[in-house]
Amino acid sequence: MSLFDQKLSTLQESLHKKEITVSDLVDESYKRIAQVEDKVQAFLTLDEERARQKAIELDQKLGTDDANGLLFGMPIGIKDNIVTRNLRTTAASKILENFDPIYDATVVQKLQAADSITIGKLNMDEFAMGSSTENSGFQKTKNPWNLETVPGGSSGGSAAAVAAGEVLFSLGSDTGGSIRQPASFCGVVGLKPTYGRVSRFGLIAFASSLDQIGPITRTVEDNAYLLQAISGLDAMDSTSANVDVPNFVQSLTGDVKGLKIAVPKEYLGEGVKEEVKQSVLDALKTLEKLGATWEEVSLPHSKYALATYYLLSSSEASANLARFDGVRYGYRSPNAENLMDLYKNTRAEGFGEEVKRRIMLGTFALSSGYYDAYYKKAQKVRTLIKQDFENIFAKYDVIVGPTTPTPAFKIGENTADPMTMYLNDILTIPVNLAGVPGISVPCGFSNGLPLGLQIIGKHFDESTVYRVAHAFEQATDFHKQKPQL
């Protein structure tokens, strides 16, 4: 039995009793990576020397008052678009293949303050643009449940590493479902917090009004511990919210009696596979037995969410990615005779196809004569989508539905069809547009591949989302099943 089969709280207890050491946990991580990484390919960079050195230092603190952090000594993987000082950070793009940041992202600083240990940086779709981790500039991560299928994206490496037992938990980022969708495909727990709950300082931007860092874990309880550690106001991020951070773990009571659940008919409609619908209906029956009630509702503007998202996110991406020009840092084309050539050739050679596609779309939507017709209209529809959620939350505590319309698909199956690939995020995108929190928890299997249940909450009400997710998790055993690599 792996140490990582145990909950964080159990491991902490074992550490304090000196039944295990921090070095044991780090050994477990690198031993597992050595066993399965050639199959899964979740990591882009490992930080083994520093991780082992830090483990030795933390072992000397065991038994003292300095060993009481929530995440003390726990091994974690970091998505490769979250900057780490003196540890290569590429956003899975050739344009940043030799980039060593000179500072840590705020979430990384918080993890270090909690004495967790960074094992390495995790693969992703380039600049977080994709739903399968096939758009990485370096390698394709595989789904540990079936190595012929994708792990989801863009945080595919983050989800696959946790599912494969390479790390206890990881950080991902979610712009349109990039934590929840791979969590669903890989059978783990992934939360997108409320926009502003977690600092974005040090997150390489894709779409700044949508991006949010969040935790990927084996259990809901571990997820709550990790969110606790990374949440809070940050003076370095003007979009981080000045709201209290509650004790999320205290909300895991298992009690959902009297809770009112809304189930949008649009989330169980066309395009959602029958086995996915059935797993959600079965999950609702479980929650009903626990004392909750549910009703069908409508989110009428959700049908416009996909178009709205791709216009807004691509527009923001075209602005954010303008900084990668070969002048200040990152890749610089050797094939340039003048400044204009330098810009064009660096970006043509450094960016992948999907990134170029979105830059082109975003630049078009923001261009003179098209701005009002596309970008401005999309912003108006975004407001309508947000109002839909507010109307539902005036009467209900949470919204429940599937995380993805299908289980994981085969590697290469959708690469030639961008629209089919984009449709994978159709159930997760509205949450980002509205800025509300959402979690994916395992709720079933289809032909041996995991399915995810999505639970969506009110702004800054992650506590209720966790309460429902934990109650469901405790009443089922889907989270206990592991891929056999």
Give the DSSP per-residue string, 349-416. HHS-HHHHHHHHHHHHHHSTTTTIIIIIHHHHHHHHHHHHHHHHHTT-SEEEEESSSSSPPBTTSSTT
Structural domains for the chain:
3-259+462-480 (3.90.1300.10)
Burial 266-279 (b: 16+ CB within 10 A, else e): bbbeeebeeebbeb
The dihedral sign for the CA sequence 161, 42, 332, 342: negative
Burial 69-91 (b: 16+ CB within 10 A, else e): bbbbbbbbbbbbbbbbeebbbbb
Q: Largest Cα–Cα distance of the chain, in whole Å? A: 70
pLDDT given for residue 288 in this prediction: 98
> Which one of the listed residues 116, 170, 178, 184 is annotated catalytic?
178
Q: Quick one: DSSP state of residue 309?
A: H
Whether 79 is catalytic: yes
> Which one of the listed residues 93, 116, 154, 184 is annotated catalytic?
154
CB 84 within 8 A of CB 121: yes
> Which one of the listed residues 54, 79, 192, 458 is annotated catalytic?
79
* Distance separating alpha carbons of residues 252 and 297, to the nearest angstrom: 27
Whether 440 is catalytic: no
Q: Whose CA is closest to 150, among 181, 125, 187, 185?
A: 185
Whether 178 is catalytic: yes
| N-terminal to C-terminal alpha carbon distance within the chain | 14
pTM score of the predicted model: 0.97
pLDDT given for residue 422 in this prediction: 79
Decide the pairing of beta strands 260-264 and 212-217: unpaired
Can you tell me which residue has the tokens 């977080």? Answer: 128
Can you tell me which residue has the tokens 């039995």? Answer: 1
Sites in the chain below the pLDDT cut of 70: none
Phi and psi angles of residue 445, each rounded to the nearest 5 degrees, phi first: -140, 150
- Residue 118 CB-density burial (10 A; 0-12 exposed, 13-18 middle, 19+ buried): buried
Burial 345-368 (b: 16+ CB within 10 A, else e): bbbeebbbebbeebbebbbbbbee
* Distance separating alpha carbons of residues 252 and 217, to the nearest angstrom: 15
pLDDT given for residue 65 in this prediction: 85
